[in-house]
Chain A
Amino acid sequence: MAKTIEQLKKDVLDMKLKALDISLSAGQYGELSHVGSAFSAMEIMSALYEVAKIDDPEQEDRDRVIISKAHCILALYTALYKKGLISESELETVDKNGTTLWGHPYRNLKRGIEFSGGSLGLGISYAAGVAYSCKLKGLNNRIFVLLGDGECNEGIVWEALMSIAHFKLSNLTVIVDKNGLQFDGTTDEIMSLGNLEDKFKAFGYDVVTVNGHEVGDVVDALRNKSFERPNVVIAKTNKANGISFLENQAKSHVFMIKQKEYDLAKNDIISAYEQK
């Protein structure tokens, strides 16, 4: 059963609050969290797990969700929690010594984690191989891969994009979380991507651009796929979206959340949700 927009928005709220809880417990003993990139991808992640058919995460013809911008674990793990693939007690181990939910996810199909990410650019090349295999086997499934815009600086991303188009892997959909920021500043000032939509079109993709914080729009964009060409959804987002003191700031990439920041952020998120 497809969820309503209201249900998805509530899911996103739950994910954000859970992510804040994890960040606070890390911050309480001096650990930083990847806050910014997770909060730019909350709606994307929720939409991905709504659209992707992975009711049985070990079935061969399941859809594959491959997270290439793997530092957004707070969005990934909380989405998998909402999906029932990660338990609450497991989620509480994040950022604790000896946890199996690492700071960059490790492949574990039982948890719905397809790819061991962390090194930027490597997820999309891997996804190209997965999509090639699924196409060859005639599986009627889809492969989704989430990229960051900063991640698009990596050369292997373009090697992979070329090969996905060359092998006509129309079963593959790339989602770019285009929050416009990377570690050292804006993507425009550090390494401009120029017109990303045109670049993808020139590479042979069907491209659509959406507001990445409108979960319903992202769901629609992901559901509409070309059968001729590989697909790209460019999701325009804000880094640390909805957290007033971090939003659209490069420093949000890794940030220490203490009680004061937690209270402020929680208030921001709940009041934004209630206003809608």
Chain B
Amino acid sequence: MARVKLTNVKKIYQGNVTAVHDFNLDIADKEFIVFVGPSGCGKSTTLRMVAGLEDISEGTVEIDGEVVNDLQPKDRHISMVFQNYALYPHLTVFENMAFPLRLLRHPKMSQDEIYRRVTEAAEVLGITQYLNRKPKALSGGQRQRVAIGRAMVKDCKVFLMDEPLSNLDAKLRNQMRAEIILLRKKIDTTFIYVTHDQTEAMTLGDRIVIMKDGFIMQVGSPSQVFDKPDNLFVAEFIGAPKMNIVKTNLVKEGSKYYVTPFGSKILVDGEKGDELKKRGYDSQEILLGFRPEHTVLAKKAEGACHATIAVNEMMGSELHLHVVTDDGAPVIIRVPTIQLNDKEREEMVAGKEIYFTFEGKVMHFFNPETEVSLFYDEPVTLEEVNEKVEEIKKDVKELKEKE
């Protein structure tokens, strides 16, 4: 139960390879935060710096108001679950879970208390019947539960999880994901969870930190990063199948905005249109993004885009159509199968020509050079706020003097 604050944290490996650049994040008490990004983006390194398993090259890490840069992992009051479980093979499940408790000194924990805590955790995780087994005799899912149990028994300030589900098969992963959500309510502490899977990030996190090449690309709630991605990377990373991106023109006609992808002309309406107007954008080249699930099949009509199906993926509840437009751009369209009758479903095969369209209110606009969203606001820094405060104070003072 603690606030974790990372200030200008950097990790530079020998040979000047910078794994993490200037990482700033304030994690609130009892928040569930998820670091997500492709492999090699520095998310695990950052977590390990919080854990004390990696040295911090620059910057500070604070846990509960205390700078922990030079503290050993054992003195940081953290628990951690590892990707490969890291269970002690020579100890039984009970002893594995009791291990952190037996190491406690000042005060030493009584045998009864150890027994109580381990059995309690085992009950929560449903592994009571395996307590006398060695890890070797457990399945992957059971081992992961033991690993979580071992992290649970100790009172910790921060609960760290380093890709805990990536070694499980897909079905078990979904099940464990749901269990982690339930578990979180029981443990009630600050969580930092690392994953490369955007579904896990979206379902688990209060806030998601999306990273790339050691930089934070965006920090926000799951709906924020999904609906309002700050940049192209976040837009493409979050959501499956990934967002369609096309280079096109934003055209201003009077007070209305249009986009012209694939030779069509689509009105930008709703909030997005208002926002463009408010920010005073003029006609310009942009990268237009629209999600496969927001794309709909259309009848041949003005404004609809023409394309040919290249690949169809039947997912059961939905159909993923990989189509190629007339100018050769690949687009993915997600069609719920319930909208199609049997005949239509059979017709949706490679080579069939279709029309599709999408609405203005679901569009995303990015600057083609910087790849930053047209709606992105630089975050206000503390200095700027302070400056503003000083200005106001000055004004107030002047006013008073005038009076």
Are A and B associated in one complex? no
Instruction: List residues of A whose CB falls within 8 A of some B CB.
Output: none
